[in-house]
Amino acid sequence: MIRPDRMCRSAAVCSGLVVAAVLAGCGGPQESTSADPSSSTPTTTSVNVYEQQRAAGVQATLDDLGKALRGGDRARMNELVDAAASPQFRQRLQTSMANLSPHEMPDERPARSPSSTARPDGSTSGAAPSTPPTSSERIPPRGTALELDDFGYRLTPTEEAETPVPTQLQARLDAQGSSDTWVAPVELHYALGGAATPGIDEPDVVVPGQLVMARYGDAWKVVGDATVVGGTPAPTQLWDLPGLAADDVSTAGGTSVIASYPDTAAVVARARRLLPGSIAAVTEFWGADWPRRAVVVATDTPAEFRGLAQSSATDITGAAAATVYSRVDTDDRTAIGQRVILTPSAGELPEPALGVVLRHELTHVAARVVTAPGAPLWITEGVPEYVGRKGTYTRFEDAAPDLAMQIRAGELPTGLPADGDFAVDADRSMVAYQSAWSVAAYVADRYGEDDLKKLYTGVAGTDDPRRQDAAIKDALGVPRAELVAGWRRWLTDQVR
């Protein structure tokens, strides 16, 4: 399942979803058990031979399909896909095969350069824009073909009743000679890898889903995914979109990966330069208790971004990035499948502004395992904003121009920003992000960064307002009301 956090304003910087995919075969044999013939102990377990044979046949097809996709064997892939499969399903498989099989990256025209007139971070940083590259400058390639470290589908046990195949489709399959159909429960298992294997060190991402299968004699073919039976479409994976490339970057925690799509070479080059220092800056604030490596994805179109981020936002022009993840293992304190996905607008940002975005998003990556769903955005966005912008401004107005203007107009905030104020398409979101930043900046100035981190872990660790109030008192020694009052006084001093 994909878990989205929030989209980040390109002016403000943002937040923090990861993703399921297209088909591949299962790697490795499946476990099996059998009775010991030397044992005299009777068994009462009934063996359903039909179900065993069906499972073995379907798994064999998935294994073969995975080999075909990764090996670029188009003929074998076509043999494994049923004639009743939709053109869209076939096209997705073909795109995946093009991305996953060994291939040379085509030459590309130079990507967009950042605008020399753009504000450095869209409206929140005082850093000067970098000089855009001239047309004569050579933009390095985006990378090479992605090499996955692990990739496969596995049948999963289920106690649920089987999902029926729609009548019209079943009639077509019967007419084609199919003797059996199955809406098979599966899990996609994959580890990203990178430009080379093993690539980034991360646990397998596991994504549940369904595949519709049809039997012909002893062989099975793939008919489609869950959408065939009215289910939810599989979340878009990196390799579902054309032109995927990957580049490995050495960072403090090991290999990081920058994945990208056509016409993003310029932003990839800037991200490549910025990523090691951005990870170091987050570690300076958060400490070393996080992976200190990351996956950054550069998109060139709104459709690419929305697909990978599972975003329903109709207007993403004001957003710079979103951080997504698959799940959090609370026992191991591990966040699995985290990806920083840059919007097309990020490609317009000069290097200092992109650095703000990366540091912000990487703070989400670092803090994921201690951040509860439903935690208030004034803390979960405010602290990443603080880390992202640190050292990029000399005046309050440089970091928070909209908030400063509002305060000078006599509109001093009366309370901490509400979650609804952060909506990416809301007019007040700019002030909300700047206000959240200012809360964190006030706490760091008044109490110190150690107490700011303690405030984050306490308040962001729960969705219970009473526990959040207790965490404020525990971290700062004052109740919520005094935090707000002190912040308001600090704001007034900043804009004099």
Q: What's the per-residue H, E or C state across 406-445?
A: HHHCCCCCCCCCCHHHHCCCCCCHHHHHHHHHHHHHHHHH
| Cβ atoms within 10 Å of 119's Cβ, excluding its own | 18
Q: Which domains does the chain have, with CATH numbers?
A: 1-19+136-140+235-370 (no CATH), 49-102+147-234 (3.10.450), 373-496 (no CATH)
- pLDDT, one tens digit per residue, over 12-39 is 333 333 333 323 333 333 333 333 333 3
| Residue 310 confidence (pLDDT) | 87
Helix (H, G, I), strand (E, B) or coil at 383: helix
Query: Which two tokens mark 200?
Result: 């980034």
Query: Which two tokens mark 170?
Result: 């079943």
Measured distance CA(226)–CA(219) in Å, rounded: 21
Query: Which two tokens mark 356?
Result: 């703000």
Taking the CA atoms of 170, 171, 172 and 175 in sequence, report the sign of the dihedral they define. Answer: positive
177 Ramachandran zone, left/alpha/beta (phi>0; psi -120 to 50): left
In which residue ranges of the chain is pLDDT below 70?
1-47, 106-140, 313-314, 424-427
Peptide bond preceding 87: is omega within 30 degrees of 0, i.e. cis? no
Helix (H, G, I), strand (E, B) or coil at 197: coil
Side-chain-side CA neighbours of 351 within 13 Å: the count stands at: 15
Say how many residues make up the chain: 496
Q: Which residues pair with 183 in a beta bridge?
A: 212
Tokens 């090996």 -> residue: 71
Measured distance CA(450)–CA(476) in Å, rounded: 10
| Cβ atoms within 10 Å of 189's Cβ, excluding its own | 18
| Residue 424 confidence (pLDDT) | 67
| Residue 39 confidence (pLDDT) | 39
Question: Whose CA is closest to 127, among 468, 470, 305, 388?
Answer: 388
Strand 295-298 and strand 254-260: pairing?
parallel
Amino acid identity of residue 473, one-letter, is: K
Side-chain-side CA neighbours of 404 within 13 Å: the count stands at: 13
| Residue 316 confidence (pLDDT) | 76
- pLDDT, one tens digit per residue, over 348-389 is 999 999 999 999 999 999 999 999 999 999 999 999 999 999
pTM: 0.84
Is there a contact between 337 and 18 (Cβ–Cβ < 8 Å)? yes
The burial class, CB within 10 Å (0-12 / 13-18 / 19+), for 217 is exposed
| Residue 80 confidence (pLDDT) | 97
The burial class, CB within 10 Å (0-12 / 13-18 / 19+), for 41 is exposed
